Amino acid sequence: MPTELAVVSDTHVPGREPAIPEWVSARVRAADHTIHAGDFDAPETLETVRGLATELTAVAGNIDPSTVDLPTTATVEIEDVTFVVVHGTGPHESWPERVATLVGEAIGGETEGIVVGVAGHTHTPTDTVVAGRRLLNPGSATGARPATRTTMLSVRVDGDAIDVELHAE
């Protein structure tokens, strides 16, 4: 049976936005697993997401305080797909190459199997392939600046096949 993922990032609550929108929360609650690519903004926001998610894989972002006690890189296997999660901190222009490099470092350069990188930071939804790796950026789950809209991804994993859908409001 396929596994449904909610992929979110850059919530920035309460620093830039007051709360996670209900439609995003509903998708997180409905998912089998949630990936958050950092910039929660506060430990309370991390706890909110933990309370919504059935299972959570998350990393710290560049604005997260040390009290958001998360790693900077996380790896999770969902069915036959390995997801490498980082925040993607750095200049927006070099995001794809930087994230592809971080994904390669996290898996030790292994090329077997399906590996997908997930990162945020730019607040721009992205689904691209760089250096043979598929990279996903869900944008901002609250529409926090510099985003122009609220976005997230749903990812359906069935064996080694993945289907990605962008949701935006």
Which tens digits make up the pLDDT trace of 27-77? 999 999 999 999 999 999 999 999 999 999 999 999 999 989 999 999 999
Domain 3-168: state its class.
alpha beta
Q: What is the DSSP string of 48-114?
A: HHHHH-SSEEE---TT--TTS---SEEEEEETTEEEEEE---S-GGGHHHHHHHHHHHHTTT--SSE
Domain borders along the chain are 3-168
Residue 110 has what pLDDT? 65
Which tens digits make up the pLDDT trace of 9-19? 999 999 999 99
Residue 125 DSSP code = -
Which tens digits make up the pLDDT trace of 65-124? 998 999 999 999 999 999 999 999 999 999 999 999 999 999 886 667 899 999 999 999
Residue 52 has what pLDDT? 98
- Reply yes or no on whether the pLDDT at 7 is more than 70: yes
Of the pLDDT bands very low, low, confident and very high (cuts 50, 70, 90), residue 148 is very high
pTM of the model: 0.96
Residue 131 has what pLDDT? 85
